[in-house]
Amino acid sequence: MDRRHFLMSSAAAFGAASTMMGTPSDTVRVAVIGVGGQGKKLGGRGVAHINGYNKLPNVEIVAMCDVDQTHLDHGVSLVAKGKKPKAYTDIRKVLEDKDIDVISIATPNHWHTLMTVWACQAGKDVYVEKPCSHNIFEAKQIVAAARKYDRIVQQGSQIRSSLAVQEAVQHMRDGLIGDVYLSRGLCFKWRDTIGRTPVTDVPPGVDYNLWLGPAPATHGFSMNRFHYNWHWFWDTGNGDLGNQGIHEVDVARWGLGVKYPTKVSAIGGHFMFDDDQETPNTLNCAFEFNEDGKHKMMEFEVRHWMTNGEATVGHPVTRPGEARAAQPETGDGDAPPRPGVRNSDAIGNLFYGSKGFLDVDSYSSYKSWLGRGQDPGPANNKGGDHFLNFLEAVRSRKREHLNAEIEEGAASTVLVHLANISYRVGRTIHFDSKTMTCVGDAEANKYLTRAYRKPFVVPEKV
């Protein structure tokens, strides 16, 4: 786990990038899958992909794919260089195009693994948004496909490319805060009610069959199950734990230096609102690890409404007349904006050791405190470029250059799925990482996979 994250200094990384991207023949040809958007302002993770590739040298977005024609047209209009990209509705047609080297996936979660498997089979490298899988079976299959076809596959856990957060993890490996026994992840993010929307006709210009893909076609079309709000339904999303939360779950596991838990428990609920949402908006999770003779634990919490922060993660609570410090910008990149609303989010991580504690309070910063006196320790604020890191590995053909190689990404998504399973069955589950099953719990094991809607099936044999 250690060495892949600390291979290059900032100067070396950018120097390598300029060398590898120095000639037109080195141009990487990218297809962006899923533009995304909400309300009157089209945006989202797909737009972040477009903007990320637009600013890099010798990268050309040659194709765009989206099942919503409005989003597709908007995505095509954002491409800043090269020829106008080809426009597709069906991912399978994209994968037939021999001019494409890389596909960059920013679709709803339930499509991530199948698209990645298909792309690996077609000889493409893949940048896939988090979480890379919709269930634990898919987490196994996505890694198997990357290995079988020897493809470069990166999960969109961009905090892994932050130079400051890499430094924080290295400090913990080197013993800065002593024996790290506990990590804690916070996903305190304002999520208002989604209300209720009726079943209606599919909007013009939308291929809803392709949007559903592997998901069942049992509910009819409803706006609440479509753009963005698909996160809050089990058929297509994984709740906020698998939306914003997967970023902090990944950092919590990375910093703790563990892979799979032996025991997981989650309790929570959908509080305050009477609406269409299925997933919990408040969730408390606990994970127990026993690796290499060491017993460690991880906590994770999701809150959806007004809240305090912890340490420097989020705004401190203040009294009238007291100033509130600016909160470092974080987010999942596609949450609907709240104009005029003061930010009360607290997104980040805390690590506790025998000599002190450390927090990661944004996507690109950390602070530490040492000893019983909580004396200030090392701190830093420095970001990175996750798309650049991916393209470096595409050129070098060395997956160890990736900061969020798919095996690492898949391991973190397994924690998300296990916590959601515990919540859904209403009890603690015991996990066997050798068989990737819940021990002695047939009900829990039913949630390890899903019934796929043909022909959109993640195969048993990739």
pLDDT in tens, 57-100: 999 999 999 999 999 999 999 997 778 999 999 999 999 999 99
pLDDT of residue 193: 97
Report phi then psi at 313, rounded to 5: -85, 110
Specify the pTM. Answer: 0.90
14 compared with 395, residue with greater pLDDT: 395
Q: Is the peptide bond before 131 cis (omega within 30 degrees of 0)?
A: yes
For 268-311, write each residue's pLDDT tens digit: 999 999 999 999 999 999 999 999 889 999 999 999 999 999 98
**Per-residue pLDDT at 323 exceeds 80:** no
> Could you tell me what percent of the chain has a pLDDT over 90?
82
pLDDT of residue 37: 56
For 45-59, write each residue's pLDDT tens digit: 889 999 999 999 999
How far apart CA 164 and CA 349 sit, in angstroms, is: 14
Least-confidence region, from 5-14, 235-244, 267-276: 5-14
